[in-house]
Amino acid sequence: LAKTTQPISMDSYEGQEVNITCSHNNIATNDYITWYQQFPSQGPRFIIQGYKTKVTNEVASLFIPADRKSSTLSLPRVSLSDTAVYYCLVGGESSYKLIFGSGTRLLVRP
């Protein structure tokens, strides 16, 4: 399973766009990239998943460059309720367990 590296923490203000970059230099051909969000004392929650290029849903966008060695989660116009830990996970169809590395603790200030 590819190892991921993310910033330990990030600070932002309400209404700003937040971009969290994850490095996964050893990503395998059949690996996809998934991001989860976790609030304190709650279970992680799926945010977005992609394999290449750009994926967008109602809560976030995921940008993946051509070499796929990194990915960027983009949260548009964050609010206080986006304060959480964000995990980048890389895995393929041969492994279904989620391996959580050290996530990024995002603090959104008023």
Partner 1 sequence: AAGVIQSPRHLIKEKRETATLKCYPIPRHDTVYWYQQGPGQDPQFLISFYEKMQSDKGSIPDRFSAQQFSDYHSELNMSSLELGDSALYFCASSLGLGTSGGGIRNEQFFGPGTRLTVL
Which residue from 28, 69, 74, 100 is in contact with partner 1, where contact means CB under 8 A? 100
Considering the rule CB under 8 A, would residue 49 count as an interface residue with partner 1? yes
Q: Which is nearer to partner 1, 29 or 41 (CB)?
A: 41
Q: Which is nearer to partner 1, 34 or 70 (CB)?
A: 34
Cα–Cα distances in angstroms (integers) from residue 76 to residues 16, 23, 62, 86, 107, in the given order: 7, 21, 11, 15, 14
Widest Cα–Cα separation across the chain: 43
Q: Which is nearer to partner 1, 18 or 62 (CB)?
A: 62
Among the listed ranges 9-17, 19-27, 66-74, 88-96, the one in contact with partner 1 (CB under 8 A) is 88-96
Cα–Cα distances in angstroms (integers) from residue 84 to residues 25, 40, 79, 80, 103, in the given order: 25, 7, 11, 9, 10
Which residue do the tokens 């990915």 mark? 71
Closest to 88 in 3D by CA, of 69, 110, 107: 69
Site string for partner 1, 14-43 (x = CB under 8 A): ------------------x-x---x--xxx
Considering the rule CB under 8 A, would residue 103 count as an interface residue with partner 1? yes
Q: What number of other Cβ atoms are within 10 A of residue 27's Cβ?
A: 23
Which residue from 9, 25, 53, 102 is in contact with partner 1, where contact means CB under 8 A? 102
